[in-house]
Amino acid sequence: MTASLDRGAMGPAADPALGRALDRALDRALGRAVRGPGFSARLAPRALLVASAALAVLLALAVASICFGDYPLRFDQVVDAIFGGSGGQSYIVQRFRLPRAVGGALAGALLGLSGAVFQTLARNVLASPDVLGVETGAALVTVILMTLGLTGTAALTGGAFAGAAVVTAAVYVLAYRRGINGMRLILVGIGVNACVTGGTSYVLMLAEVHTAERAHNWTLGGFNGLGWEQVAVLAAGLAVTLPLATGLAARLRTLSLGDGVARALGLPLERSRLLLVGTGVLAAAASVAVAGPVAFIALVAPQIARRLIGRPDGGLVTSAIFGALLAVAADFAGRQLAGDAEIPVGIVTALAGGPWLVYLLMKRGSRSTDG
Amino acid sequence: MPSRGSATTAVSGLVALAIAVGVVAMLSIGVGSRFIPPDSVLSALFSPGGGFYDNVIWELRIPRTVAGLVIGAALGLSGAVMQGLTRNPIADPGILGVHAGAAFGVVVAIYVFGLLDFRAHVGFAFAGAALVSAAVWLVGSRGRDGATPVKLALAGAAISAFIGSATSLVLYADSTAFDEFRFWSVGSLAGAKADLLLAAAPFLAGGALLAFGVIRGLNALSMGADVARSLGQRVRLVRGAAALAVVLLSGTAVAAVGPIGFVGLTVPHVARALAGPDHRRVLPYSALLGPLVLLGADIVGRVVAIPSEVQVGAITAAVGAPVFIWFVRRRTVREL
């Protein structure tokens, strides 16, 4: 739905030729318009194609990650085990590998969605929930809770979520000065993150060594312990934030045209921004609270979506699918690369994502980075 | 605010600061989990051998205080040079990746080479800091507009994240390395010993000499590279020497006592507020303000949680981050 961008909202074009040219440009950018009585939507064949191809790859990767492991399974055994079946194989699949694959995909999807919201909102490909402190906030609270001996799943998930929300809110409030500016938000985020990370290392140092090690491992992110309870929390997070975000998509797209245009089109700027930031943080915090911080997915997934679809906003749903794909792929790689041991998924994504970010910075070096 | 023009006010400001540093150093010798009265401090300093506290003072308090003085001066100087070099008010060795690089160097020393000796860490931390800050500089200075503040900060964040995850990978694999590393990573003066300071001294002295050597160049650079060139400065040489000074000073400081954030960021701002923008004054002021801040923070850390203590790195982060945010908020974004 792109009501705010359609011709009606842009005002009647004085020149019919200009109007037709505008229509054609919009069709190219956003897909062919389909209008009926009381509704209008755009169909973008390329976006649909990319999204379904990504879904297919995601499915294949998930099946592969269920097949391979310390105890390899054939494809037909996996299918048997998923749809009923009993005995050791179905126990392995239903108790461990399936929730891990599904949970990892959901966690990645939440991050991809969150990243898409932030990047479009800040009009800056470098904006992501990490910068706002979602990860460091969650890590600080989790490390404190673990040090105090509170290791129940509910306490940790709730605490991590609260930490993410509080630190992000602090960054938002501190960066607010007659409105929100994308670059100031990022810089304030860097400062707050440095402070919170300092707190985390301090607590890690106070803790007894085994506790400290477990807490530190949590901060690396991992899908290792995911069970159906955690999958349910992640699914609930996606069920809340995906409709919210797609419902706000029209506002998001208008905001991405710049404050001046958005204001001229009658959009309440600060309120829309707050709603969108809230949705993005909710998505990222749900993911981080359950699966730990998995770096860079929120940054990279929307950019892949954008490049493949070939339009300025990658599309929220497509970004979420690519987030899921990246998470499952990184988890799979982390389990396969190190032989007997396994590399936490957050380390795999950071090792792969850091160079990507550097590449982006070098490519846009000649342009201004003001958002 | 004193008049910024007169040389005598600058000198008297320096003398006042030096006296303040002396007072803080005395406090640092006397204050701790056990308070030592001033007369015992003086007698231990000037006629050692007789007093009850001599051992504590000479074995623990004095090395720690000297470390605070030397490292504080190094952090203050490196921050001032870094900000002059990048013409960037938010430049800080930590933000530009020196800490992440040094941490990686230390982890490599512990894990790959099995070195648990502090003096060995210094070299590795230093090499890591040098490599990473060079990489950040290369990435952040691409493009026509050169090394803008925002580009450098973002390049620092990206490369720090990458190096940090490599560090995490090693820590994940090796419990011994993790246990060593978590104490190093907070940043503390408590472990400073005389031999460590001796190992760090040549690097710090070299860095300080270089820093004071490029003062003229930094003053010229503050008017822009083109003006500096027309004033006869060899811009590349100045930039290279200044960057080397920063890496020598802050890299060695991190290696010796762990990452201590925000001192290098905030001290030069105070120095400029007191002494004006001329680097001939900013550098000496920063070299005295650095120890004042670092030792002050260390003393606070010793007394806030008696009988245990809070590491100085945690104190400076807790105080420094708000100052950083205040700077970011104070300016319009384009000025940054």
Average pLDDT rounded to a whole number, residues A218-225: 82
A314 φ, ψ (degrees, to nearest 5): -65, -15
Higher pLDDT, A208 or A325: A325
User: Has residue B162 got a pLDDT over 80?
Assistant: yes
DSSP state of A41: E
In the prediction, which pLDDT does B210 show? 94
Average pLDDT rounded to a whole number, residues B310-329: 82
Higher pLDDT, A115 or B182: A115
Taking contacts as CB-CB distances below 8 angstroms, the residues of chain B near A361 are 139-140, 142, 151, 154-155, 158
Are residues A357 and B171, on separate chains, in Cβ contact within 8 Å?
no
Going by pLDDT thresholds of 50, 70 and 90, the confidence category of residue B74 is very high
The rounded distance, in Å, linking the Cα atoms of A320 and A305 is 9
| Alpha-helical regions (H) of chain A | 7-10, 16-30, 45-67, 75-82, 88-91, 98-122, 134-147, 153-175, 182-206, 209-218, 228-247, 249-255, 259-264, 269-291, 297-309, 316-337, 345-363
Are residues A220 and B142, on separate chains, in Cβ contact within 8 Å?
no
Per-position DSSP letters for B184-240, written without gaps between them:
HTT--STT--HHHHHHHHHHHHHHHHHHHHTHHHHHHHTT-HHHHHHTT--HHHHHH
Q: Does A144 touch chain B (CB under 8 A)?
A: no
Give Cβ neighbours of residue B137 (< 8 Å, ≥ 6 apart).
B96, B147, B152, B243
Closest CA to A141 of A124, A120, A162: A162
Of chain B, the end-to-end C-alpha distance in Å amounts to 25
Three-state secondary structure string covering A49-115: HHHHHHHHHHHHHHHHHHHCCCCCCCHHHHHHHHCCCCCHHHHHHHHHHHHHHHHHHHHHHHHHHHH
Going by pLDDT thresholds of 50, 70 and 90, the confidence category of residue B333 is very low
Average confidence score pLDDT of chain A: 81
C-beta atoms surrounding B219 within 10 Å: 18
User: Has residue B331 got a pLDDT over 80?
Assistant: no
* Cβ proximity of B143 and B165 under 8 Å: no
Average pLDDT rounded to a whole number, residues A187-191: 81
Closest CA to B4 of B272, B318, B300, B296: B272
The proportion of chain A whose per-residue pLDDT surpasses 90, expressed as a percent, equals: 20
Lowest model confidence (mean pLDDT) among A173-177, B149-153, B236-240 = B149-153
Supply angle C-alpha B57, B196, B30, rounded to 5.
20
Higher pLDDT, B172 or B283: B283
Taking contacts as CB-CB distances below 8 angstroms, the residues of chain B near A199 are 314, 317-318
- For chain B, which domains are there? 8-30+37-50+66-330 (1.10.3470.10)
In the prediction, which pLDDT does A82 show? 78
In the prediction, which pLDDT does A27 show? 67
Taking contacts as CB-CB distances below 8 angstroms, the residues of chain A near B168 are 216, 219-220, 347, 350
Virtual torsion, Cα A160, A163, A166, A172, nearest 10 deg: -90
Q: Which pLDDT tens digit goes with each residue over B277-304?
A: 888 999 999 999 999 999 999 999 888 8
Q: Is B135 helix (H, G, I), strand (E, B) or coil?
A: helix
In the prediction, which pLDDT does A29 show? 62
In the prediction, which pLDDT does B51 show? 67
Q: Does A350 touch chain B (CB under 8 A)?
A: yes
Q: Which pLDDT tens digit goes with each residue over A281-325?
A: 899 989 988 888 888 898 888 888 888 887 666 689 999 999 999
In the prediction, which pLDDT does A43 show? 63
User: Has residue A1 got a pLDDT over 90?
Assistant: no
The rounded distance, in Å, linking the Cα atoms of B317 and A361 is 28
Average confidence score pLDDT of chain B: 82
Give Cβ neighbours of residue A323 (< 8 Å, ≥ 6 apart).
A108, A109, A110, A111, A112, A113, A115, A297, A298, A301
| Omega cis (within 30) before B37 | no
pTM (2 d.p.): 0.78
ipTM over 0.90: no
In the prediction, which pLDDT does A8 show? 41
User: Has residue B334 got a pLDDT over 50?
Assistant: no
Q: Does A366 touch chain B (CB under 8 A)?
A: yes
Average pLDDT rounded to a whole number, residues B29-37: 79
- For chain A, which domains are there? 1-43 (no CATH), 49-366 (1.10.3470.10)
Going by pLDDT thresholds of 50, 70 and 90, the confidence category of residue B144 is low
Are residues A351 and B166, on separate chains, in Cβ contact within 8 Å?
yes
Virtual torsion, Cα B76, B79, B83, B85, nearest 10 deg: 110
User: Has residue A63 got a pLDDT over 60?
Assistant: yes
Are residues B155 and A361, on separate chains, in Cβ contact within 8 Å?
yes
User: Has residue A41 got a pLDDT over 70?
Assistant: no
User: Has residue A171 got a pLDDT over 50?
Assistant: yes
Supply angle C-alpha B163, B167, B171, rounded to 5.
165
Average pLDDT rounded to a whole number, residues B5-13: 78
Please name the residue of chain A whose CA is at the shortest distance from the CA of residue B181.
A205
Average pLDDT rounded to a whole number, residues B58-87: 89
User: Has residue A136 got a pLDDT over 80?
Assistant: yes
In the prediction, which pLDDT does B95 show? 67
